[in-house]
Each structure stands twice: as C-alpha cells, then as structure tokens.
A and B are shown apart, each in its own frame.
Chain A
Amino acid sequence: MSREKPRIGVYICHCGINIGGVVDVEDVAKYVGTLPNVVVAKHYVYMCSAPGQDMIKNDIKEHKLNRLIVASCTPRMHEPTFRGVVEEAGLNPYLFEMTNIREHCSWVHAAEPKKATKKTKDLIRMSVAKASLLEPLHKREAEVTERALVIGAGVSGMRSALDLANRGFEVYLVENSPSIGGKMAQLNEVYPTGEKAIDALEPLMKAVASHPKIKLFTNSKIEAVDGFIGNFKVKVAVKPRYVTNDCNACGKCESICPIEVPNEHDFGLSKRKAIYLPFPAASPPIYIIDEENCNKCGKCVEACEIGAVDLKEKGMGMEIGVGTIIVATGYDLYDPPKGEYGYGLYDNVITLPQLERLLDKNGPTNGQLLFNRSTPKNIVFISCVGSRQEPGIYKPAIEGQQLNRYCSRVCCMAALKNALAIRERYPNTRVFYLYRDMRTFGKGHEEYYRKASESRVLFVKYKLEAPPVISSSSNGLVVTAQDVLTNDEVLAIPADLVVLNVGMVPSADASGLQAKLRLSRSADGFFQEAHAKLRPLDTALDGIFLAGTAQGPKDITDSAAMGSAAAARAAIPLARGKVEIEPIIAVVNEDLCSGCGVCVALCPYSAIKKDEQGIARVTEVACKGCGTCAASCPARAITVLYFTDEQIRAQALAALGRIPS
C-alpha cells in the first residue's frame, strides 16, 4: 500500500492555565511548525471546547490534513472525543494521535517551566514521528449469539439472570452448589430493615426457577470457555446428584440414612445426613447425595417410594453457545486460623455467620440464642477479623498467603444488626462491641448505629497495634482490650460468647474459573474490573462482566444493584445482535512466519492458531492487541496495528532527539 504523504495538524491545548500556565505553548507551536510533515501547528485555550473542535474540523478541510495530533490531557480523557472530531471531518479516526502534556508534564513539572516546555516539544516530536507512520484502520463487526451465561446463582447472579430473561433473552444460569440462593440463604435477618433474609430471597429464587427463559443448572461446573464476545463456547459439567428430578422432597430417605456429617448450611453447628436437602427453601427442592460421605448402603434407595434415588447416576457434560457472560461467583468467608482470638481453641468463640444461624428460627436452635444450652450473659463482638490486616500485626490465615488489606464493608453493619437483635430479644444479655473503626456509610445505616448505641450496646474502640486478647479463666473467657476512647484504659470483659466479625475473601472455587475465562485479579485477589471508576462491571475481556462480590466485598443491596447493572451491560451486545471489534490487533506476515508456535502458546486469549500449512493465524475478534506475540515472535513476523514496531521505534528515536522524516 502506498502511503500518501503525511500532512499533520498539531493542536496544543492550554487547558486554561493547567498547561498554558506552565508550558510556553507559543514557543512549542513555533517549534512544532518546523517539524517535517507538520502543516499546521496551533495553540488554543481549550481544544476540547466546541470552538476548539470546530477549528480542527475546518483545518482538516482547509489544509487537507490527513493526520492529527492533539497535545493536551491523557488519552484516557479525550481520545474518544478527538477521534470523533476527526471522524466527523471525514478522516479515519485512527489517523489521530494524542500527546499527554498535562498529566505527564505541566502538572508534575510546574516548578520547572523551561524544562516542561522542552519536554513538551520532545513529546510532540515523538507523536509527530508516530503520526507520520499511522495507517487508517477499520472497525469490524461480528454476529452475536443472543443468549447469555450467568455463573453463580447468589443474589447478584439471580438478579442478572432474571433481568436478562425479562428482557427476552435466553439465559443459562450455572450454579456450583446444589441449590440457588447463595450466601444470603444462610442469613437470619437483613439490615437495615430487619426483614427475614429468606423471606426476601424466596420470591427471587422462585422467579428464577420458574422463568421459561432461564435454563438453570445447579450442582454444575464450568469446564472450559473458548471464543470471544458474541460467540463464547462454554463446556458445562453437571455433577451427579444421585437423586432424579422426580424427588418430591418427602424426606424418608433422609430419616433412614445412617451417616451424619456437619451441616455446612449451619456452619457446622448442626448435623445433616449424607442424603439431604441443602436447606428448607432450597431450589430446586430435590435431595442430593454427598458423594464424599455416602457409603452406598442403599437404604435410601429402598426408602424412596417413587424410585427417585439412583446411586449409579453419571454426570453429564454439554456445550453451550452464548454471546455474553456474567461472572457472579461470590465470595468465601474468612476462616480464622486456629488460635486467632481463641478461635478453634475455645468452643464459645464463634464467627458472625454462625451467630446468624443461632438467631435464625430455621437454624440449629430454632432461633433461641442458646450456647451450650444456656443463653449467654455477656457477648463480645470483635470487628475486622480477617479484614484490614496490617503486616507486622496480623499473619495471613494460610502461611505464605497475602494479608487481606481491604475492608470487607459488610461486617460492621452485620454485627450491629446482630448486636441490636440480641439486645432487643435478650435485655439481660450485655453486648460489648470491640471495633477498630465503625463504618456505617449506607442508606439508613448510621441511624441503625445510633439505635444500637441507644439500646446500650457497649462500644469499645481498640487500636490496630493493640488488638483484643482472649484468655480463659475459671469463670469462662476474658477479653482484654485497650479502650482508645477512655485514654487506653485496659478493660477485662468476661465473655460467655465471643463473636468474630469475619470478613470476605475471594472465592476459592473461582480461582479455577479465572484461568478458564482468562480474567485478571486485583491485588486483593478479587476479579479485576476494567476501570475502577467508570467501568466497574466490565472486565478486560469484552463480553465478560462482573456482578456481586466476585468483584470485591459488598452487601446485598449493592450485589443486587450490580446484578441488574451487569445484566444491562451484558444485554447491549445481545440486543444489538452485532459487536464492533477494535482494530488494534496483531497481524502476521505469512512470508516471515516460521510456524514455530511460540505465539500460539503465549497468547492469553487463544487468539492465534496455526492453519493447515502451519502458519500462525490471528482470530481477529478474539485478539485484544496486547502485542506480546509481536515482541516475542522469533521470526519477527508479527506486528500490532496502531502500535507497530516501526511506530514504537520512531517514537523512541524521536525521544532521543532524532527529527522524524
């Protein structure tokens, strides 16, 4: 392809005084005007304003400009704006290059205006070098399979699935555990309304289970994911349940089963059988045999009058095609290591979720706050267990793992809710609440905190450096704490029950999924969103979205909101029926390709495959343009459009003073 001679227009923005107050923009414009291929070099107070944009559009026509540079803020800010301007003026939007002279220059070198001006000249010279080599690029379109996959059927996953289904899209909802409902099903009441959690959850579960557009797969795992936005191919493995859909949940099998194991629904506070219903409101309401503990005695087979127990049941695999995927895999509860605040050493040190079960009328004690058959007289809550861990003070739960530096966001309120419930139901029980900081930032939350104070929950603020200490005495446990609010007075609090406000940790099950979906995680281990502020639901992968606590700790309200929001995001490509593909992708020079396959193994998106001749082929829709293949290709046969070797090299040499040709 013969290249037309570049005619570059360079526009230097003052950004009010943000740039103009530091950089000598006039001097810069004069210098830039002398660079090869530059036809116009102007400076203006606000390039992004309407008059600024019009100036560019007029100049493109008047001076027959075919490349454009705007030197202003970061491309994260206005690259789309100016690409739009360029396109409106009839130029290919990829013939535009942005020079960052605000964030990377005037704002950080305000004390050295001369050096900032020189740096600005260098940066623009680099852009001119790149712009001279830019080629027009074109977005492409691909067809979309108008179905979605939601992974995880907790609050956010169910919300996503239901919203998508109500919009008329078919949804596959895949849940790892035997019932939908998620962790909310294990809660007693929800704050700040005091509503029974299961009462709020059940209508949602019912709607999801009965929706004709939702294909529900419980007890199922994602095996493999291939493809790209619009055309994902997902392998799902349905694990054997050993009980068929004919089950009417009569419970005869359960009563005859000889095996008892700790009940995970009650966090080990009660027992269940090897054949069991996960919880009373479980959906689907079908029993399941827990493979690990079943001894295949066959008593349940005999007890089942309708022949629904099938010990020989095999799992099944299937492949589904979807256009978009929502990851709503939730969280795990922090599991304190033995000895943290006496956990695992004293049986009256329990976690907050265990307390929820004790207060739940469907729980192991039918909602009576009984611990070792009596109602505790003194209860101590300890906050920030497994959250906001600081090095030197806390140790990771598993040696070698990182500390949880983040706030889990729900424990303050969840503990307040339980503290208040105890004070209201058991006025003779004293409640001590040991906290580092109190975070009640949501709607109606601060009011709740006040109510807890008024109901005489005793708050003790401890310091990070002096966490409470649990010890045992002849009269039971003693919690020793230094109270910041009374000038570090040391309190020895007698406790019949200590409740640890454990936080959230990234789901262990999701780590396998991470590799299959090729998602990245942020430093805290939760799935990483595309942009912390402006794209909190998207992942780096087009067509894959995040909902709920898979992305980071949040409460039910936020999880539900995020579930709806992710559904809205995931519906866009489905509704459009087509997706646009960014043209910044890798291209292979077939003549140079040696067929070594290094790129195939390196591509994080399986976007490169070898054809019958052994030549590397890029699947354009799957390529994200990272360029690792290009920089690694032993034969140097690959480059990336918009970031070609030639362009990067030209920028580097221009940085060192070479005048671009």
Chain B
Amino acid sequence: MTFEPRIVGFLCNWCSYAGADLAGTSRIPYPPNVRIIRVMCSGRVDPVIILEALAHGADGVIVMGCHPGDCHYVEGNLQAERKIKMLKKLIAWTGLEPERLRLEWVSASEGGRFAEITKDFTTQIMKLGPSPLAGEKSDPNLLEGMLAAKAAAEDFRLRALVGRERELVEEKNVYGEKKLQEDFDKVMYDAIRAEYIRNRMYLMIQKEPLSVKELAKRLDMDPGQVLRHVVIMRRRGLMAVDRIEGTSPLYIALEVK
C-alpha cells in the first residue's frame, strides 16, 4: 500500500482557513492528506498540542497564519512564529525530523498558495516517509524523547521565554536592558537543551533508579554535565537518592506536586 501521510493542520480563522476555503471555491485540487483544525489565531496553537500530535504519530503538522502585518489580532502570527522556532529546536533533540513541523503564511486571498503549500508539504512528508512514531510499533526511545519534549514545553521556563521574547528583544527588560536577538537565541538554545535533558532524565529515572554514569551513557553525554543537572534537579525536589550501589548513588524520580 502506498504511504498516505497523516497531516494535522492548524489554520487561523481569518486568513489561512479562508484561504483554504478559496482554494475550494476556485476548485484548486491538492492532496487530501491534511486534516484542518480551525483556530481563531495561529498564536492560539499551544506547542504542547503540536508535540502531542507528533507523539501520536502525525506524519506532519502544519500551522498556517496571516502574513506578518496582516494578523487579525495584530501580531498573534509572530507569536506563533516564536513558538514554532522554539519547537523545531526542541524537536531536533528528540531525533525526530524537525521538518515534520512547518509554519506558513497564507492570506484569505491566496487559495492557490494554500493548495501549493499543502502539495509541497505532503510531498516533503512523503519523502521523509512515515513517522517513526506512527503505527503499532513506535520507537520507544524516540517516544520517550517526544514525551520529554512535551514535558519541557509544558514547563514554565520555555513558555515564559517564548512569551517574553518580543518584550526582551524589542523593548527593554526590568533592568532597562534590551537584548539582542542573537543573545536571546543563545539563552533560548541553552534553555531548550537543559529542559529537554532534565525532562528526559526524569522520565528515565521514573522507570528505574539510575546512576549518573548510566544516565550519561543513555544520553550520550559527559557524566560531569549530567551531574550538574542532577544537582539542579535534586535542589528542585525532582529526584532523590534511591540507594547506593558500590560507590554510585542511584537516583529515582520524585512525584511533583
């Protein structure tokens, strides 16, 4: 059987959804693989829901909003862009192809463009092949990675950073400083990596107590770095020593209240 990609599309009510309507009115054919969900604004699409769709085996997720400057809600679309930028970096850590997620601008008058993008994205997903998370036997390692990414996207830190990006980069922070975009990107990069790794560690030690060495091996990381995360996670009450084997303490996850 040929591969029929399953793609979830989140379309803003005012531009892209209307653009898709126009593709219909103009009878412009495109592949029948995208399942459209109407939202009021592309900025409404929560990163957690995108990760959930991918974790549940979506072969692709596409978010469409108004062109910059055209947003029905002034700049919800730019907020969507910041979220997708963060998500792509986060997804890259899991091992899933970040190209399975795409953001596009389609106006209400661009029926042709909507059809073109849908066709292009479907072709791209066909080339990538089925998601390793689709079907009965999904890759458990990758799934754990996706769950770690989802947990990271649910946590305060990344959400706050994305939510504050505009303010920090375009306006001034409470100390009256303006951050350069590249400085911000660096902070964001570090935060994504740290949050992903800690959530991944947390998922691992939820299943069984593990030593720093074992965690480092599974994460393919330097044990010194893992230890630094362990210190932070212990301070936050996320893990505790379960027992000591030889000279190595084994850590176990603590329930977060």
A: residues with CB less than 8 A from B are 74-76, 100, 102-105, 107-112, 115-116, 118-119, 122-123, 126, 518, 520-523, 528, 532, 540, 584, 594, 596, 598-599, 601-602, 604-605, 624-628, 630-636, 640, 643, 645, 648-649, 651-653, 655-658
B6 touches A528 (CB 8 A): no
Q: Which of B24, B52, B76, B107 has the most CB of A within 10 A?
A: B24
Map CB proximity to A onto B147-188 as digits: 1 under 8 Å, 0 otherwise.
000000010110110111011000000000000000000000
B192 close to A (CB within 8 Å) = no
Q: Name the CB-closest residue of B to A646.
A: B49
A104 and B56 contact, CB distance less than 8 A: no
Residue of A whose beta carbon sits closest to that of B39: A643
Q: Which residue in B20, B24, B53 is a CB contact (below 8 Å) of A652?
A: B53
CB distance from B41 to the nearest CB of A (A): 4
B74 in the interface (beta carbon within 8 A): yes
Does B44 count as interface, using CB distance less than 8 angstroms?
yes
Shortest Cβ gap from A535 to chain B (Å): 12
A627 & B41 in contact (Cβ 8 Å cutoff): yes
Contacts of B23 on A, CB cut-off 8 Å? 103, 108
The segment from B64-72, B227-235, B243-251 that touches chain A is B64-72
**Sample of 10 further A-B pairs with CB below 8 A, known A111-B29, A631-B46, A653-B56:** A74-B17, A75-B38, A102-B24, A105-B32, A108-B32, A528-B70, A626-B72, A632-B79, A643-B40, A648-B49
B35 contacts chain A at the CB level, 8 A cutoff: yes
Cβ contacts A to B, 24 pairs, < 8 Å: A76-B21, A104-B21, A107-B27, A108-B28, A111-B29, A122-B35, A123-B35, A521-B70, A523-B67, A540-B72, A596-B160, A598-B159, A604-B75, A624-B73, A628-B73, A628-B79, A640-B40, A648-B46, A649-B52, A652-B8, A653-B53, A655-B6, A655-B35, A655-B58
Q: Tell me the residues in window 35-61 of chain B with beta carbons closer than 8 Å to chain A beta carbons.
A: 35-41, 43-49, 52-53, 56-58
Q: Which residues of B contact A75 (CB under 8 A)?
A: 38
Given contacts A104-B24, A598-B163, contact A628 B41 (CB under 8 A): yes
Given A74-B21, A100-B36, A655-B37, answer yes or no on A626-B70 (Cβ-Cβ < 8 Å): no
**Identity of the chain B residue whose Cβ is nearest the Cβ of A653 in the assembled complex:** B56
Check A632–B159 contact: CB distance below 8 A.
yes
Residue ID in chain B nearest A636 by CB atoms: B154
Chain B residues whose CB sits within 8 angstroms of the CB of A653 once the complex forms: 52-53, 56
| Inter-subunit contact A108/B79 (CB<8 Å) | no
Residues of A within 8 A of B41 (CB): 626-628
Q: How far does the Cβ of A592 sit from chain B's closest Cβ, in whole Å?
A: 11
How many Å lie between the Cα of A580 and that of B23 in the bound state?
33
- A634 to B162 alpha-carbon distance, docked (Å): 9
Do A601 and B167 have beta carbons less than 8 Å apart?
A: yes
CA distance A626 to B37 in the complex (A): 15
Residues of A within 8 A of B43 (CB): 626-628, 631-632
Q: How far is the CA of A76 from the CA of B16 in the complex (A)?
A: 13
B18 contacts A540, C-beta separation under 8 Å:
no
Q: Mark B4-19, 1 if CB is under 8 A from A, else 0.
A: 1010101000100110
Whether A631 pairs with B47 at a CB distance below 8 angstroms is yes
How far apart are B48's CB and chain A's nearest CB, in angstroms?
8
A656 touches which one: B57, B154, B157, B159 (CB < 8 A)?
B57
Interface centre among A111, A518, A520, A528, by most chain B C-beta atoms within 10 angstroms, is A520
Q: Is the CB of B70 within 8 A of A520?
A: yes
Asked if residues B44 and A103 are in contact (CB atoms below 8 Å), the reply is: no
Known: A602-B79, A632-B163, A652-B52. Is A627-B40 also a contact (CB below 8 A)? Answer: yes
Smallest Cβ distance from B64 to chain A, in angstroms? 13
For A625, list chain B residues within 8 Å (CB). Answer: 40
Contact call B32/A112, Cβ cutoff below 8 A: yes
Residues of B within 8 A of A624 (CB): 40, 73
B195 shortest CB reach to chain A, Å: 12
Residues of B near A599 (CB, < 8 A) are 163
Q: A601-B164, A602-B163, A631-B47 are in contact. Are A648 and B39 (CB under 8 A)?
A: yes
Report which residue of A522, A602, A652 has the largest number of chain B beta carbons within 10 angstroms of its beta carbon: A652
Task: Name the residue of chain B whose CB is nearest to the CB of A633.
Answer: B159
A522, B164: Cα distance in complex, Å = 26
Contacts of B56 in A (CB 8 A): 652-653, 656, 658
Do A635 and B37 have beta carbons less than 8 Å apart?
A: no
Rank and list the top 9 A-B pairs by shortest CB-CB distance, nearest first.
Answer: A103-B24, A627-B44, A628-B43, A598-B163, A655-B35, A626-B73, A604-B74, A626-B41, A634-B160
A584, B13: Cα distance in complex, Å? 13
Instruction: Assess whether A522 is in contact with B44, with CB atoms less than 8 Å apart.
Output: no
Q: Are A115 and B18 CB-contacts (below 8 A) given A602-B163, A627-B40, A634-B159?
A: no
Taking the closest CB of chain A, its distance from the CB of B172, in whole angstroms, is 12
* Neighbouring A residues of B40 by C-beta, 8 Å: 584, 624-627, 640, 643
Contact A108 B30 (CB under 8 A): yes
Q: Does B252 contact A (CB under 8 A)?
A: no
**How far apart are the CA atoms of A57 and B83 in the complex, in Å?**
43
Let me know if B159 and A627 touch, CB within 8 A: no
CA of A627 to CA of B18, assembled, Å: 19
* Chain B residues near A520 (CB-CB < 8 A): 69-74
B159 A103 Cβ-Cβ under 8 A: no
- Report whether A631 and B83 are in contact in the complex, using a CB–CB cutoff of 8 Å: yes
Does B25 contact A107, Cβ atoms closer than 8 Å?
yes
Q: Which residues of A sit under 8 angstroms from B53, Cβ to Cβ? A: 652-653, 655-656
Q: Are B24 and A107 in contact (CB under 8 A)?
A: yes
Which of A100, A634, A643, A658 lies in contact with B44, CB distance below 8 A? Answer: A643
| CB nearest to B14 among chain A residues | A540
Residue of B nearest to A657 (CB): B6
| Contact residues in A for B239 (Cβ distance below 8 Å) | none
Q: Is B204 an interface residue (CB 8 A)?
A: no
Residue on A with the closest CB to B118?
Answer: A108
Cβ-closest chain A residue relative to B73? A626
The reply to whether A649 and B24 form a contact with Cβ atoms under 8 Å apart is no
- Measured between beta carbons, the chain A residues less than 8 angstroms from B39 are 627, 643, 648
Contact assessment for A104 and B76 in the assembled complex, using a CB-CB cutoff below 8 Å: no
- Selected contact of B20 from candidates A103, A115, A123, A657, CB within 8 Å: A103
* Minimum CB–CB distance for B12 against chain A, Å: 9
Q: Is residue B108 within 8 Å, beta carbon to beta carbon, of the partner chain? A: yes
Whether the Cβ atoms of B25 and A626 lie closer than 8 Å is: no
Q: Nearest Cβ distance between residue A599 and chain B, in whole angstroms?
A: 8
CB atoms of B69 and A632 under 8 A apart: no
| Chain A residue, CB-CB nearest to B22 | A103
User: Smallest distance from the beta carbon of A470 to chain B beta carbons, Å?
Assistant: 34
Pick the most buried of A104, A108, A596: most chain B CB atoms within 10 A of its CB: A108
Task: Note all chain B residues with C-beta closer than 8 A to A631.
Answer: 43-47, 79, 83
Quote the shortest CB–CB distance from B215 to chain A (angstroms). Answer: 27
Bound Cα distance A632, B41 (Å): 13
Complex contacts, B32 vs chain A, CB 8 Å: 105, 108-109, 112, 115-116, 118-119
Interface residue B115 (Cβ < 8 Å from any Cβ of A): yes
CA distance A522 to B15 in the complex (A): 11
Measured between beta carbons, the chain B residues less than 8 angstroms from A604 are: 73-76
Q: Which residue of A lies closest to B36 (CB)?
A: A104
CB < 8 Å neighbour of B115 from A100, A108, A523, A598: A108
